């Protein structure tokens, strides 16, 4: 299964939030992360499927070494994955490149400008979203010629609020920065535990940054085991490792 959203169906733009399954399968292992313990050739094959689905090849799929930062890089040419820079978002104006981010509960965000031929992809876990990775991505897209109001963005499959229990120190970190952030948490229980709405938090950060159109996929990676890898689920089940799904967006190459 591949999750797509209509707002990103723009001329010259192709995208996909890819799942752990190939098309037509009900279960599988389409892990796209080299550091998840899978054979490198298998990961190459999985990434190739995703790259082809957005109109590029594996060599032109550009990713970064994600570290939950707020850093954004501008991609202008293919980069081998071993040489990828440390960052958590990418933007480009280069046709023929696809930008990819890996997630397993964090929010993948794909963005495109309607008129300026600028695209972006961001890995937004709670820390990256809290520290400004989405705002920084929008700023870089603007620097490359996109008008903020012309940007459309989709928050892809990520851990849902019903699955994302956090402790009181997590809530306090957010509300200490901005009291209005309390709206993203459920009422705390007797021990101060609450549930956090990562997708809504990410979407609101994009809207506050001036993005014209923002949609949320609504998929919960932790709850939907048949379709998505999940760090939280793997941890709760005491599994030794977990895969990551790829989300990618591409500008069509100029004929």
3-state secondary structure 45-63: HHHHHHHHHCCCCHHHEEC
Can you tell me whether residue 14 is helix, strand or coil? strand
Q: What is the pTM of this model?
A: 0.96
The separation between CA 248 and the C-alpha centre of its own chain, rounded to angstroms, equals 8
Q: Is 14 exposed, middle or buried (0-12, 13-18, 19+ CB in 10 A)?
A: buried
Is the pLDDT confidence value at 26 over 60?
no
Is 254 a residue whose pLDDT tops 80? no
Residue 180 scores a pLDDT above 70: yes
Residue 171 reports pLDDT greater than 60: yes
Contact yes or no for 107/127 (Cβ under 8 A): no
pLDDT digits (tens, 9 = 90+) for 103-148: 999 999 999 999 879 999 999 999 999 999 999 999 999 999 999 9
Handedness of CA 194, 126, 9, 49 (dihedral sign): negative
Q: Which two tokens stand for residue 183?
A: 């709206």
Residue 141 DSSP one-character state: H
CA separation for the pair 123, 106 (Å, rounded): 7
Q: What was the pLDDT predicted at 36?
A: 67
Kindly state the average pLDDT of the residues 66-77: 98
Query: What percentage of the chain exceeds 90 in pLDDT?
Result: 88
- Domains annotated on the chain, with CATH: 2-160+197-251 (3.60.140.10)
Give the model's pLDDT for residue 25: 46
Would you mind telling me the total number of residues written for the chain in this entry? 255
pLDDT one-digit tens code per residue, 194-253: 999 999 999 999 999 999 999 999 999 999 999 999 999 999 999 888 899 999 999 987
What does the pLDDT read at residue 28? 60
Instruction: Please say whether the beta carbons of 126 and 171 come within 8 A.
Output: no
């Amino acid at each position: 299964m591949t999750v797509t959203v209509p707002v990103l169906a723009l001329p010259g733009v192709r995208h996909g939030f890819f799942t752990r399954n190939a098309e037509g399968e009900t279960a599988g292992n389409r892990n796209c992360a080299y550091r998840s313990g899978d054979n490198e050739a298998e990961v190459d094959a999985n990434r190739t499927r995703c790259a082809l689905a957005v109109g590029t090849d594996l060599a032109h799929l550009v990713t970064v070494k994600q570290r939950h930062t707020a850093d954004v890089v501008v991609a202008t040419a293919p980069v081998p994955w071993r040489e990828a820079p440390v960052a958590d978002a990418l933007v480009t104006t280069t046709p023929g490149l696809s930008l990819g981010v890996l997630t397993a509960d964090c929010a993948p965000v794909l963005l495109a400008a309607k008129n300026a031929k600028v695209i972006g992809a961001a890995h937004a876990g709670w820390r990256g979203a809290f520290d400004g990775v989405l705002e920084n991505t929008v700023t870089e897209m603007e620097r490359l010629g996109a008008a903020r109001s012309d940007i459309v963005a989709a928050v892809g499959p990520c851990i849902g609020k019903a699955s994302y229990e956090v402790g009181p120190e997590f809530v306090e970190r957010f509300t200490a920065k901005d009291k209005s952030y309390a709206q993203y948490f459920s009422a705390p229980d007797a021990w101060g535990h609450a549930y956090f709405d990562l997708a809504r938090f990410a979407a609101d950060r994009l809207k506050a940054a001036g993005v014209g159109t923002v949609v949320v996929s609504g998929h919960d990676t932790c709850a939907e085991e048949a379709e998505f890898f999940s760090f939280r689920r793997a941890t709760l089940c005491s599994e030794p490792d977990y895969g990551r799904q790829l989300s990618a967006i591409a500008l069509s190459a100029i004929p």
